[in-house]
Structure 1
Amino acid sequence: MLAIWPAYKSLFRFAQYPIADTQRDRTFGTAATVRALISSDALNGVSRIGLGKPGACFISGVAMARINESVAGGANVLAFLDMIARAEIGPAMMADPLADDGYRVLVGSLPGNVWVFTDYDDHPFEKRKAIQYSDGVYSSAAGRYQILVRYWPHYRDLLGLPDFGPVSQDRYAIHQFKERRALDDIIAGRVESAIRRCSNIWASMPGAGYKQREHKLATLLGAFEQAGGRIA
């Protein structure tokens, strides 16, 4: 995991206090700047929300990914994107309207205490910065597919992504499928094989081995079908 400045150890303790109403610069290192993460202007627009009601994340047969189906490679690719989002973020947080179907969610969020960023211009974390969201656990994961900042610049430039918006996040994830040689499996409906190939990227997948909660294969297959995917 990435190193973090000492003041960040208080990040989620600050979250229980009222949102700061002053705008501060986008730097790290003091309690004041950690508190600024709760303002809408700090850190590419990070804020804390506790609004919206948990509800159904998927409408049967309808994928929520924003990229065009033909550009993505078909309905199965969209369904696989939705499956990952459900595994990484969960239906309750994705259902919050301010989470924008998960595209704005930051690592460490919980249902009823969701952290989002509000600026899609770029990845919300500066290079080599991270959140300590539990004892000894650090991460810079952000967005629907929990993209780490250390990988973002490379793929942003490789794919010519204009921003960190929903379609850019979708394209990033699909490129990961290609790199893991899983895209053909996804398109053909060989979902179990695709999950196996992608498990080293997303910690929520079975067999990932990152000492985080892993979903059962049956749960992911159900989410894939619920999002409109077809299993071979």
Structure 2
Amino acid sequence: MNGLKFIRTRCNMSLNELADILDVSRQQVSAWENGVKPISQKRLNQLSKYFGVDEKYFLDISEDDKEFIVSKALYRRQDNEKEIYCFVKQGEMEDDFKYRPFSYPDFEESLDEQMIRAKKKNKDTIEGIQEAMRYFGKPDKIIEEIFAINRGCKVYDALTKYLRQMPNEAPGTIILYYNMARNVLFSLLIANGLMCKEELEKEFEHNIGSRLYDDMEWICEIADIFKKRYDDKVKLIEEIRSNLK
């Protein structure tokens, strides 16, 4: 794999942005990354000093090299509205936890590219919620639609109230709030046949072996409880209907 592209992407930098820093064309950087042209010693030295990584990591890199780069702490800085990351401090930074060294997992897209996809997903999710809210019961009369919307509001308001507590928690426990809500929802999906255990395993494939995040067994146990409760309620409804006939 090309090390320059891997490092550039990890530092959330576009081809144009890196080209401006090096005072070369975008096409030149692209040619380096695609192996069309070799990176000169002068540019390797320039890249090494800027990013804070040894020159060899801007050439072809192995999986071990990638793991080493991923393990290195990054420094964040703000260029107007743009977040840039490097493995060394670039310019003045405030003495604040946001600017201290940190690391994040491996990925193939820059943070900007991931943000574009996340915003699209957010838009699709909101549209899905709006559709579910309107037809929370498939009404065919205006009074039924009002009741359906109100039922939907109760569900989403309760979840929103719960999730709004997350920012008030200590950094180490914020994820627990998210996990609990997610796991309960997964349990409901499994209980009602809307998610299979294979899909659940895929959701946790990156957390296998972690006692903190791997809650698959607990989710399945809760799903069994939900299913029994649901089945009991369905039987009760059938009994009531039978008695009314």
* Structure with the largest fraction of helix: 2
Same fold (TM over 0.5): no
Q: Which has the higher contact order (CA 8 A, sep 6+)?
A: 1
TM-score by length of 2: 0.30
Q: Which has the larger radius of gyration?
A: 2
TM-score by length of 1: 0.31
